[in-house]
Structure 1
Amino acid sequence: MNNQSLRDIKKKTTACALADAAFELALERGLDGFIVEDIVQRAGYSRRTFANHFSCKEEAVVMAAISFQGTEEYNHVIAEIPENTPPLDFLYHLMKTYLTTEVLWKMRKLILLSKKKPSLEPYILSGFHHLQVMAQETLRDFYLGRYPEGYTHLLVGAAYGALLPILDGSLNVLLPDPSESESSGAMTFEQYLDSTFSYLRNGFESSYPLNQTTNENSR
């Protein structure tokens, strides 16, 4: 391991510690109940260090939900995927690996916080874009030009775009949360993800409800 790698690891560890402290404070006090000084005191760093990683407390709070710390597991999953795996199946494995119960739980808390404090929304969308770019780069590195760049952008955009209705709360999808009881009227996130990739794999017009509507309208 070279010095650059050690620096990168240290930088990421520091950013995660600051983000986690900001997220904890947001849950405990609400977004208006703390300042940057509270974050650095809890995390054990200086304000200057905070400024080197984040522009404001809102950005730090959101980063706690999207930062990925299971790099070894992530790399192991990628290494186990056969080279001839179609990009759609590859992306499905990536999303299943990254979107863990903890990440989804934090995302749900972010949604609840953003409803009370809309200033979080731009940072949530920015963080979501970061996840999209990370997936695009992973696909590009795995397939090494075997697919056009535009293809991977469209594929990742479609898959991750399906998560936006969950982030803005317009779809009733049950995210894992040990503090809440399950709602019988909502599909689970796993069901929603499987449904999304089924549409992407088979086409939207192949679904029964859409065909049924078309047939009824033609009568």
Structure 2
Amino acid sequence: MKAEVRQQRSLLELAELDAEIGRIEHRAKNLPEQRALGEAQVGHREAGDRLAALRIALADIDEQVAKFEGEIDSVRQRGDRDRALMDGGTIDPKQLTELQHELDTLHRRQTSLEDSLLDVLERREELAADHQRVLAEVDDLQTMLSDAREVCEQAGAQLAHRRAESLSRRADLTAGIDESLLALYERQRSRGGVGAGPLQGRRCGACRIEIDKGELARIAAAPEDEVLRCPECSAILLRVTGSHA
């Protein structure tokens, strides 16, 4: 295939532009800002899970508090009834002894329940403090998450803008390249390789492999408008430098 040096120079510029687009797309898929956002999301989610667990624990402990308070109230009411009977003076000595024994038992039971309630209330106070601490942590992490999302969106938008500009330049550039030459370039790219690269001394600029002396001699002897291929990677080998003016 033949192609004017000017066309080959444009192809070199196209290869450089495609490499730039590739770098932009790679960065877009591997944004440090995206990783930071992911870490912020994980931190916020984990703190949210801890907060939810504390809320469940508080609800459970509130049930225990209500249960103890109900039992204490029931024991207190029974004790009040027994004392009222004793103060009424209408019971015999045997009943009086039984009521006194029951009051002693009720007193021990109430003391035990109140001690247990105190332990539960102390535990609740600790959980409530943890809840407030984690709630504040979640609020802080929410702010960090919002900031990280904004930074990530800005970085993504900047890359999208750069990519759009590069694609626009690419469209303008390809419009001036011979269809056959462009088709050859695109076929090479579609195989997963670099479409074209400059000859840099003895090395192909596309695959970075050194070309043997025999091939170099053949390349040097070829007319300047001859479209050459790298013997190693098959990329179009360009013996020109610079870009299309």
Give the TM-score, by structure 2 length. 0.23
Structure of higher RCO (CA pairs closer than 8 Å, 6+ residues apart): 2
